[in-house]
Structure 1
Amino acid sequence: MTGTSLTEGRVRSADGTIIAYERSGEGPPIVLVGGAFNDRSTTRALAAALAPNFTVFGYDRRGRGDSGDSGDTAPYAVQREIEDIAALVGAAGGAAHLYGLSSGAILAALATAAGLPVTGLALFEPPFTVGPHAGSRRPIAGRLAELLAADRRADAVECFMVEAVGLPAEQVRGMRQQPMWPGLEALAPTLVHDTTITGDGGLPADRLAAIDVPTVVVDSTASPQWLRDATRATAEAVPGARYVSLEGGFHEVPPERLAAELRRGLIG
């Protein structure tokens, strides 16, 4: 982060897992919750864009980067990741905004609904399946676990890309030759975490209705319609939430554009 002071830290979650984070910027705290194939390095561009207005906490979700593996302490459960966020909010001073991307958006929403001291919530394209897409996703966490137990990481990545993301199998097979592929394989074990969070894709309307903090829900104009429908449905399920579409690419918006919207939505 050029021109931005960056400090690293560690915090211990409730089950003893060590969660690594980095802190930058000045202002009200915000914790960035990444999605599949994300660690704190993938949120740095957004963190840099937010740093003039927020104290930003980017972290490695458990099992990624420098954070501990949930298998070191107990079998994976979504509640453990909510406890990780609680520990980070504690490190941020006891209350913080949350921003979540994709499966991380679902996780951030569930953490807020569970009553964590969240002051504002921003969600980017939570991958629920709603409307005509409802019921189209089959849970694949078990299948991924089988592939990973057999040390078939490449096949696990392909399974996730095809079944969860919706990319054509031919396109994913071509990706195996690209420089990014080894990094995807390195994070493959955590795909079980993400697919456990998303489950069958159903929108948890009752839990979303429990969110009582200012909320902005964002999608990209270039994302597939099922993701945009999910984003709108999420905003409709959260009381008082604001739905915003921003010009961007597939499942992403340029960091400066997204940061500007988060500033408006969370601190005015």
Structure 2
Amino acid sequence: MDKKTISRDGTSIAYESTGQGPAVILVSGAMSTGGTVAPLAVPLSDRFRVVVYDRRGRGESGDAAPYAVEREVEDLAALIEAVGGEAALYGVSSGGALALEAAASGLPVRQVAVYEVPFAVYEGGAKERAEYTERLTAALADGRRGDAVVLFLRLTGLAEEMIQGARQSPMWPGMETIAPSLAYDNAVMGDGLVPRARLASIGVPVLSVAGSESPPWMREAAQAVAETVPGGTYRSLPGQTHMVEPDVLAPVLVEFFGG
């Protein structure tokens, strides 16, 4: 990241931008940095000024206690100001929840696109989120970062043998490094349910996208977002899962952001 902006609470937020045109800010999800969404910036930069940033508490950005979702909204406000005072937002997974909250908070956002925000639409979803929150809070309070990562991977439905394989992989130390930020994404997700009243207050166009090969509940959640936002639209990408391919997603975003 070659640039820095200062958020309202004094936290330094690292970012970089490529291309020229209307600004589009990419918001990463849990257990990720700006580098995770950077491949998407390449096909978008032909039409837009694409901004990739490290959310607070990860990568090259700073952090400050106590955490609140409002601080991350202020981080986006600082980024928008730094790139000209207006931007569109794209958020993936829990980063999509943050992008939607930023729009609902009244930031100068033109449009919002989100990919598979994992809101629960199934019975027991709120209970599952509450149990995860309790266990995650305890693990982080005890300094058990590896256990916190395992809790998150289990929440995503990853098989136990794959989790154990991840623990032995070279990427595991990096995952433990940003494990405290799992609490941030958990806070962004609220009680885990679709925040219908909050979404209904969004006054800009919203595109909610899901992959046709993702679990049914995830596709239903994406549809619920589109149906709840007054200016919402739903798109399904054939053959895609939660790990969406940038070259498949990019044309859909170019069409939406360019409209």
What is the CA-CA distance between 1:44 and the residue it aligns to? 1.1
Instruction: Compute the RMSD of aligned alpha carbons.
Output: 1.6
Three-state SS of the structure 2 residue aligned to 1:64 is coil
1:245 aligns with 2:236: yes
1:158 aligns with 2:143: no
How far apart in 2 are the matches of 1:250 and 1:133? Answer: 23
Three-state SS of the structure 1 residue aligned to 2:2 is strand
What is the CA-CA distance between 1:249 and the residue it aligns to? 4.2
Q: 1:59 — aligned with what? A: 53
Q: 2:202 — aligned with what? A: 211
What is the CA-CA distance between 1:248 and the residue it aligns to? 4.4
The TM-score with structure 1 as length reference comes to 0.91
How far apart in 1 are the matches of 2:165 and 2:186? Answer: 23
Per-residue CA deviations over 1:120-158 (Å, capped at 9, x if unaligned) read 110111110014464352323342232123222111100
Q: Which amino acid aligns with 1:62?
A: R
> Which of residues 124, 129, 132 is equivalent to 1:138?
129
Q: 1:19 — aligned with what? A: 13
How far apart in 2 are the matches of 1:234 and 1:240? Answer: 10
1:31 aligns with 2:52: no
How far apart in 2 are the matches of 1:248 and 1:88? Answer: 34
How far apart in 1 are the matches of 2:8 and 2:134? Answer: 26
Q: Which amino acid aligns with 1:130?
A: V
The TM-score with structure 2 as length reference comes to 0.94
Q: 1:148 — aligned with what? A: 140
Task: Decide whether aligned partners of structure 1 residues 221 and 144 sit closer, same or farther in structure 2, where only a CA change above 3 A counts.
Answer: same
1:116 aligns with 2:107: yes
> Which of residues 77, 87, 91 is equivalent to 1:86?
77
How far apart in 2 are the matches of 1:133 and 1:23? Answer: 41
How far apart in 2 are the matches of 1:145 and 1:131? Answer: 24
What is the CA-CA distance between 1:256 and the residue it aligns to? 1.5
> Which stretches of structure 1, 4 residues or longer, exceed 6 Å deviation after superposition?
none
Would the aligned equivalents of 1:43 and 1:58 in 2 still touch at CA under 8 Å?
yes
Three-state SS of the structure 2 residue aligned to 1:135 is helix
Mind listing any 5+ residue stretches in structure 1 that lack a counterpart? 1-6
Q: Which amino acid aligns with 2:37?
A: T
Please, which moves more after superposition, 173-182 or 183-192?
Answer: 173-182
State how 1:193-232 maps to structure 2 within 5 Å: 193-232=184-223
Q: 1:3 — aligned with what? A: none
> Which of residues 236, 240, 254 is equivalent to 1:263?
254
How far apart in 1 are the matches of 2:108 and 2:254? Answer: 19
Would the aligned equivalents of 1:129 and 1:202 in 2 still touch at CA under 8 Å?
yes
Please, which moves more after superposition, 250-259 or 173-182?
Answer: 173-182
How far apart in 2 are the matches of 1:224 and 1:265? Answer: 24
Per-residue CA deviations over 1:212-235 (Å, capped at 9, x if unaligned) read 112211111121112111111111
Q: Which amino acid aligns with 2:43?
A: A
Mind listing any 5+ residue stretches in structure 2 that lack a counterpart? none
Per-residue CA deviations over 1:164-216 (Å, capped at 9, x if unaligned) read x1223343123212232222112111001011111321111111011111221
Please, which moves more after superposition, 242-251 or 253-262?
Answer: 242-251
How far apart in 1 are the matches of 2:75 and 2:160? Answer: 34
Q: How many residues are paired up?
A: 258
Task: Decide whether aligned partners of structure 1 residues 250 and 184 sit closer, same or farther in structure 2, where only a CA change above 3 A counts.
Answer: farther
